[in-house]
Amino acid sequence: MQHRELGNSGVEVSEIGFGAWVVGTDWWGDRSDEQAVGMVEDALDAGVTYVDTGDVYGHGDSEEIIGKAIDGRRDEVTLSTKIGYDFYDNPQAGHGELPKELNREYLTEAFEASLDRLDTDYVDVLQLHNADVDEVTPEVRDLLAEWKADGRVRALGWALGPSIGWLAEGDAAVEYEEFDAVQTVFNLFEQEPGRHFVDTIRESGSDTSVIARVPHSSGLLNEQVTPDTVLEDGDHRSHRPKEWYETGWEKVEAIRFLEEPDHAEGTRTMAQAAIRWLLAHDEVASVTPTFRDGDDIAEWSAASDVPSLSEAEYERLDDLYARNFDIDRDDGMDVLRTSVDGDDIEAAGLDKRAASY
């Protein structure tokens, strides 16, 4: 397993991270707490030392599971959590978004509760969870800086979502000096706004890192969702329109060449190649796939050491993406959620629409 620095914070993260939304919730299948703890332990044994959780995942359950899993191994782990959603005073309705609360008093209480559940007195990375750009006031930034100064937080991030990403928020994370990382959906099939943030970081000379989530495009690029797959109603991926999956399967066939690298340095699976494509961007510090079992952990953690993409392969992928993989049908997902009425998307020149919700 290789490691990269998060921004210029001095915090090193494993190139493959453990996205802990998979434990503490049933959005990716049911498992007992014992099974969940075992998954985290298996990931640590495989060299996956960056663990990315959030207080809202299972309303604290994920953090408690992570706390148990890293008991006695805290020094091995680069631990990250997220705060900002008020699940304490609001019921969860399916996969719907909860109200957010980012005032000083609430954030302080939420952070202290997270530390208790994780059974630690500090986190390596603290992220604001889907915060709107106008919610991250100077008061909030001062509070985060205080926690960083007193050692309870080593690095700061801004996690974007819950759709493809909130553009203005990511740009602010790159601009504000307090933040070391911006986390967003980023994969071969969903390249915006992640690609935009990479370009912005390069153009501005910022030290901000990108943490890439959903690297397998909700099951397409690891081929866990195929034309024969029936998604249960509770499965988090069932919100995707069927057109999205149908066009996605065609795209997968168009990139089969990634399974046969054009050099003699070894082999790689499609799932590994999808991670390698992300890691070809120096700005990407860690990729957090959704591990479901031990087989996933063994295969995807090895992606840090399989052959990198060649320049020719990378350019071929760029060309395919620019041509929409030669598919002329609508996939039903040509929107980006935004907190500023789409003005940020238009200003960035993205060929996307702002979501109406």
- For CA atoms 194, 24, 94, 140, the dihedral sign is negative
Query: Mean pLDDT for the chain?
Result: 89
Lowest mean pLDDT across 26-35, 68-77, 95-104, 330-339: 26-35
pLDDT (tens digit per residue) in 216-234: 998 899 988 777 777 666 6
Q: Hey, which bits of the chain come out as E strands?
A: 3-5, 12-14, 17-19, 50-52, 78-83, 123-129, 153-159, 181-185, 209-213, 284-288, 335-336, 353-354
Question: Which fold does the domain 3-226+271-309 belong to in CATH?
Answer: TIM Barrel (3.20.20)
> pLDDT at position 86, please?
83
Global pTM reads 0.92
pLDDT at 6: 97
pLDDT surpasses 90 at 182:
yes
Give the tokens for residue 192. Answer: 């915006």
pLDDT band at 236 (very low <50, low <70, confident <90, very high): low
What pLDDT is attached to residue 96?
Answer: 65
Q: Where are the domains of the chain?
A: 3-226+271-309
**3-state DSSP assignment of residue 47:** coil
Instruction: Calculate mean pLDDT across residues 81-99.
Output: 77
